Structure formats: structure tokens, C-alpha cells
Structure 1
Amino acid sequence: MSDASAVHSSPSSLSYFRWAFIVTVAGLALGALVGWLYTGTVPGTLSIFFICAVLAVLEISLSFDNAVVNANKLKTMTPLWQRRFLTWGILIAVFGMRIVFPLAIVVVAAGIGPIAALDLAINRPHDYAAIMHEAHLGIAAFGGSFLMMVALAYFFDKDKDIHWVKPIERRLSRAADVRGIEITFVLLMIVLFTKLIGPERGGEFMTAAIWGLVTFLVVDVLRHMLDRADKGLDAAARGGMGAFLYLEVLDASFSFDGVIGAFALTQNLFVIAIGLGIGAMYVRSMTIMLVEKGTLAEYRYLEHGAFYAIFILGVIMYCQTMVHIPEVVTGLGGAVLIGIALFSSIRWNRRHGNGD
């Protein structure tokens, strides 16, 4: 990127959030309308309006590490595929994961058709929420495995030469020569939690967790195959379909926690979609800002903090199959880790003369 374009993109970080602000206003207005249609009262309308706002904050707090990881992958993609991810990807994230995905779970779990599932969501939201909660174990097991593999693949990398928590990360980097070590670690975690959950639902956990592991491996293989095929093309024709596919599955895994956690506040599918959709727009804006401003390069430990947060989120999703862990704890934990990583990066820059 030229110096002129860098100067042009630097005026204000708020400019990156213009569309997020627009969607916030439109979403909260729509939430108020949904509240009025469902309750017909001012207090009921205000209550749903407030829930939409809380869900948006919940999504932002849970997904900041997702924005960092997205930016880390996006910076290697061509501008064409960056735009595709930031346009198609947000549609898939908002409509696919916040509306279609919960309906699909109810369709499979209850053995009913999509129209019947939508009718259930509209007219019998408590029954709809009960089915979603029943499916929580499998969703958490699947998402936990996938996210742990994402984090471990980052740390078990023999070419990784920047280490934040040096005693741990240097050893993990050297251990990357042991073939399949991250897979072995996740399999041991699966066996441990299967034992802890017990025979009644342990089999269900193990099946879903292994599918999460297999999905990561399949997506990773496809990503490398597609990206290798891209390298055979000229620079103008290169796409990044492999990275796009990887990011979409990663986004879906991050969405599991927020979608399930939202049912603790409301059983209304449309309120959940509005609130989490608003939050998803802020995550998109943060991703664009991180890529265009070169924040990851400027703050060397920021992505380390994000991947630690991803690993912990994966473990928490496993733990949530046995005990309830408030989403506030999950969100704050990730934010604190990233905040510490940011502080460490700023301190490193000052020590090495890279500060302002």
C-alpha cells in the first residue's frame, strides 16, 4: 500500500465503523418494532430494545479475538477475496449463523420441517429454546474441538519466530516436529471430557467433538489444496478460496457460543438475530480496521493474545457441557487476554524505539 493511501486511511478509526453505526440504529429500531408487535406495550418494547443492545455487546465481547484472527488471515488474501469475505461473509454470518443455523438445529433435533421450525420459533419460542438448549452439548463439543485445533495449529508451528510467553511458546514451536501432536492433544481432551460427562451423554459428546476435529482437518486440507491451486495462476487471477472457506467455518465456530448464550436472555429468534447481527457488524468493522491500518504488524503480540483466547474459549465450550459458565466471563476473559497482549506490544515498541 502506498504512503498516500496509508495517509488517506488514517484520519479516524471511527470512520471504519460508519456502517456498524447505521446498522445499530436500524437494528435497534427494528428491535423496538418487534417488541411492540410481540408485546403491544411500552415496557415490553423497551425490554426487547434493551435485550437487542445487550446481545450486540455480548457478541462484540465474545468475537473480538475472532476479528484479530480474521485480520491475520485476510492480510494474506487478495483484495478481491478480502471484499468477498467482508460482503458475502457478513451475509453468511448474520443470516446464516444467526437465523438459518438455529432453525437447522431445531429441524434436525426435533425431526420437523423448516416451515414447522420457523412456526415454532414464532409462535412457541419457549419450546424452540428448549430444543436449542438440548442440542447445546453437541454444539459445544463440535465448536470446542474446532477452536482448540485453530489455536494449537498456530502455536505448534516450527516456523513461528515471535513468541510472547516465551517459556511456553518456544517449547510448543519446537514440539511441532512431532507429527500430529495437536491432534493427539485434542483427542486426549475428548477422552477426558467423555469420562467426566459420564456414560449417559458421553457418547454424544465424543461423536460431536470428533466431528469438530475432523471438520478442522478437512477444511485445512481443502484450504491448502485450493491455495496451492491459486499459486499456479497469475497474480491477477489468484483468489483465496481456501482461506475464504477456512474463515467461514472459523466464523461459524465462533458464532456457536454467542447464539446459544443468547437464549439465556431471550427465546425470540428474531431478537437474537437482530442483537447478534448488530454485534457482527462491529466485528466486521474491526476486522477491516486491523487489516487496513496494519495494526497486527504494529502490535506484535496482539494475535498471540487472540489465539490464547481462542484456545481458552474452546476449553470453556467443553466445560459448558457439564456446568454453566456465564457468557460475560467468556467475553471478559478474551478481552483481558487481548488487552494484556496489546499492553505488552506497546511496551515492546517503546523499548525498541518503535513507539510514537
Structure 2
Amino acid sequence: MRRLAPRSRRTDRPGPILTQVSAEGDHERVTPAARTSLRPRLSARRFRGGAAPGPDPTEALETGVAVAAGLREPAGSAAATEALRRLAGLCGAEAAGLVRPGLPDSWWGPGRADGVALAGRARGRRLTEAGRTALPVGDGPVLVLAGGVGSAAARRTAAFVADALERARLTDGEAEAEAARLRALRAQISPHFVYNALTTIASFVRSDPARARDLLETFAEFIRHSLAARGDYVPLAGEFRSVEAYLTLARAVLGERLRVQVRVAPEVLPVPVPVLALQPLVENAVQHGVERSPDGGLVQVSGEAEGDVCVITVDDDGPGMSPEHARAVLAGTAEGAGLALVNVDRRLRAVYGPDHGLVIETAPGAGTRIVLRIPRFQPGVVI
């Protein structure tokens, strides 16, 4: 990788005015005053009156976290049963359970059958019958407490713990969604590219064994990063190494039709970024910007710091596209377009917020630029 040299924007392209397109809307439009968050909103529960919300708010919160952790274990396991015992003790209940519709439930104490029946009648709303209270946890399982929860303080404590469980459940859901998006990206590595790369390597085995060996090592590095990288985040340096490996293989396949410039500022190399945040964008530029042009084209990749933000751009001088098509690409509805850009955009927005998705600058005949603006320091984003 070369050190970043001063770069000026393309000035030799006449004609079309570039339009910035992102999932949040076009650049020319007025930004809506209210934006819809990707995260589900939690139900608000207010403690009314002057009574204290249970024995000890700190203990209730800690118990809620412990219950959430214990109930991640298989239903009926010792960890799940112990978590429910602690919850019942906190609320002064004789029994406690977490009932999952259509799945095995976890229970501690007597009255299991009656508790499960009450959970089935709750149907998404709080329900109290015969000293038993059912508290739905979002739209998922139902928390049931039996006996000794008639006081307002105990009910408030149970509601407080149910909120803690709901937050834990939503966090788990976000993590599962992120893992699914990453699996989808890894599954979208082009079989056509892999076949062409291996065929090209094979063609050098006899005529140029040294080059064949180098390309095979490059291919192994590309596959290792794309399919076997551990963790959710890697240093930006790792993403650029993967990009360089991909471009080396692509140049072996396309020859002089593919011209490449990669520039990165040293200060952004340690910045943690989601795995496979960059390589799919470069592959998109090669496939749609270079391979579709009879004379090939130029792909430029750069990374630089702007204050507390790392700005990454991927340029190609291919045919470009209309703003309407760019919007359809980010929405995943463009005919013939892959889902890689959609997955990268959604992963970035989920990690950094709705203002940090992909931005596409393009126009027919003017090439395409994809811009990522990633905070250099983001809570929770660590390697």
C-alpha cells in the first residue's frame, strides 16, 4: 500500500451532474426532521405513585441481567432454573417461569401447569389471575410469577425485570441479524471470479511457476479473510490487504483492462471496521464499472482521516447509473444487482447509526463513487 498523496476529485468528466444517493435519501432533498430508527422501540413502563420500585433498583437490574443470561441456556437447565429462583426471591413469589409459545419453557417452583395456561391466555398483554401475573416480554416469551406478587411494589419490580429481559432479547436479535448479514456477504463471493482466478493460476503453472505460486498464495489470503476471519471487526489495514489481494487476482484475470490505484493514510490503518465492509464495494466496481466497458477502466480506492471520521472512497470510471437505479441498488430492488451493497449498507447503519450508510455519487456516463464515513472511535466497536 502506498502512502496517501493529495488527491483531487475528477475534473475531466464533462456533462452530467453527480447525484448523491443513500438509503436516507438524495443529497438535494431536505433531510426529514424525524427519522425512523432501525432498532425496535421499547415499551415505556412508568412507576406511578410514591412507592419504591421493589426492594432495591440496583439489585433488580443486576438480577434482570442474570436472569437474561441464565435463560439463554437450554430450557430446564440448571442455569435457567437458578435464574428463575433468583427472580422469584426478588419479587417475593412462590414460583417463576419463562414460557415460550411453541417451545419448551423454563420453570421454578410449584404450579407449572397453571402458569403455562395463564401465559397462553395473556396474548401480548399483562394479565393477573388468582395471584399469578403474566408479563409478556415484547412479542416473544411470557414471564410468569405466581404467589406473593399482589403488592404494587412487587408488580413494579417484575415489570422492571421484564424490561431488562426485553432489552437483552432485542440485543440478541440485533447480534443475530448482524451475523446473518455477514454470512450472506460471505456466501456472495462470486463463483465466476473464483473460477476465473483458479483457471488463470493454472495457466501459469508450467509457463511461469513463480507467478503461479505467488497468485496461489494471494488467492489463499483472499479466501482466508473473506471466509474465515474471526470476530465482527478487523483493522482497516486488514480490509485493505483483502482488497489488494482481490485486485491482484482480478488484474491477473483481466490483464491491462483493469487499472488500479490504492492509497491509504497511515493514521486510519488501525481503525476497526466491520469485516467485509470494503472488499464487496471494490468487487462491485470491477464487475459493473470495468468488466462492462470494452476498454476496461480504472478503479481507485482510498482511505483518509477527516477529524474523527475515516473517509473511504471506491471510484470507477465506468458507465455510471441514474439516481433512480442507485436508489434501487441500495434498496435491493435493482434488476440484476447483487445484494452485497445492500448488506454492507445495512451493517454500517446498524453499527454506526442511520447517518453512516453508503453514499453513491453517480450519473450516466460519469462513473460511480461509493463513499463510507466511519467514526474512528465508536463505543462497542473493538477488535
TM-score of the alignment, normalized to the shorter chain, above 0.5: no
| TM-score between both structures, scaled by the size of structure 2 | 0.25
- TM-score where L is the length of structure 1: 0.27
Bigger Rg, which one = 2
Q: Which has the higher strand share?
A: 2
